[in-house]
Structure 1
Amino acid sequence: MTEKTASVHWEGSGKTAFGSISTETAALKDYPYGFASRFEDNRRGSNPEELLGAAHAACFTMAFSFACEKAGFKTTDVDTKASVNLARQGEGFVIDRISLTMEATVAGMDDEKFQEIAAAAKRDCPLSKALASVPEITLQAKLRVDTTP
């Protein structure tokens, strides 16, 4: 149906090397990343795990909103955070956990239906399916009270 592209340019070797990430839409254009932004706390660049988390949170959020609409409910707002854990495994690394935390305002929906739709969206969004090899993907979903009159 659709294909999106991203590219990376990498210079150097090992811990002193650095790269840049670009996307076809230019949402990222020569955005820096490297060892320090991935394994240390250097905030001057990105890393694959935070990009994966952003993609997963965005995909899940859209899937949830569309599922609510299909069920006859309208989302007012949805806020999702994804935490991606990179762990050492043997000589390398593995993503062993992704935690999704979502809060949403959905008029007229009770918590039971909310949890049901949220769980289905987590299971069915394309990024969740692509990440099926991650041993643990959790979801904490909170329905916010709609205070509009």
Structure 2
Amino acid sequence: MPAKGHAEWNGDLKSGSGTFTAGDGISGEYSFKSRFEDGPGANPEQLIAGAHASCFSMALSNILAEAGTPVDSVKTDAVVTLRLVDGAPTITKIALTTVGVVPGIDEAAFQEKAAAAKAGCPVSKALAGVPEITLEATLAG
């Protein structure tokens, strides 16, 4: 099933504004200030962070269940860093932080499965050009 998104931008870069939709239920506004300063609204990097966090959580849950240790929960945060590189805005880092509640698994196995999810989730694969993607995985009691 193809996933769909739409965006419209009006005006120039600094004073213009735009709207976006992702699927049927996500929509918002974005602007130069919401992307490069601390203005109200959303930005593409937030959408990437949400996509990466949700994809990783699903992938880890699946890997753990297939290994015989189904999860109670997996909660993941993703922080996407946008910096100027050679004068161009560039995503330079994505930091994933996840906490899993997984009965019947030890720390080493959880870390192994988390690393596999990071490498294998479709969004991680799509973002392979990002120079640094880190993972901090915690197994909660």
Match of 2:85 among 83, 86, 89: 89
Q: Amino acid of the residue matched to residue 104 of structure 2?
A: G
Determine which of 76, 96, 103 is the counterpart of 2:72. 76
Written as runs of structure 1 = structure 2, the 5 A alignment for 1:39-78 is: 39-42=36-39, 44-78=40-74
SS at match of 1:112: helix
Q: Structure 2: any 5+ residue segments left out of the alignment?
A: none
Aligned partners of 1:68, 1:110: CA distance in 2, in Å?
A: 12
1:91 CA displacement: 2.4
CA distance in 2, matches of 1:140, 1:110: 16
Q: What's the offset of the Cα at 1:131? A: 0.6
Matched, 1:6 2:2: no
Q: Distance in 2 between matches of 1:14 and 1:101?
A: 33
Q: Secondary structure at the match of 2:30?
A: strand
User: What is the identity percentage for the equivalent residue pairs of Structure 1 and Structure 2?
Assistant: 43
Structure 1: which 5+ residue stretches go unaligned?
none
- How many residue pairs are counted as aligned between the two chains? 141
Q: For residues 28 and 114 of structure 1, what CA distance do their matches in structure 2 show?
A: 32
In the alignment, does 2:32 pair up with 1:38? no
Q: CA RMSD in A?
A: 0.8
- Pairing partner for 1:114 from 95, 105, 110: 110
Could you tell me how far 1:75 is from its partner in structure 2?
Answer: 0.6
The TM-score, its normalising length taken from structure 2, stands at: 0.97
Counterpart CA distance in 2 for 1:28 and 1:72 is 34
Aligned-partner residue type, residue 8 of structure 1 = A
| Distance in 2, Cα, partners of 1:40 & 1:70 | 43
Matched with 2:119 is: 123
Q: CA deviation at 1:24?
A: 2.8
Give 3-state SS (helix, strand or coil) of 2:45's partner. helix
**Where does structure 1 differ by over 3 angstroms across 4 or more consecutive aligned residues?**
none
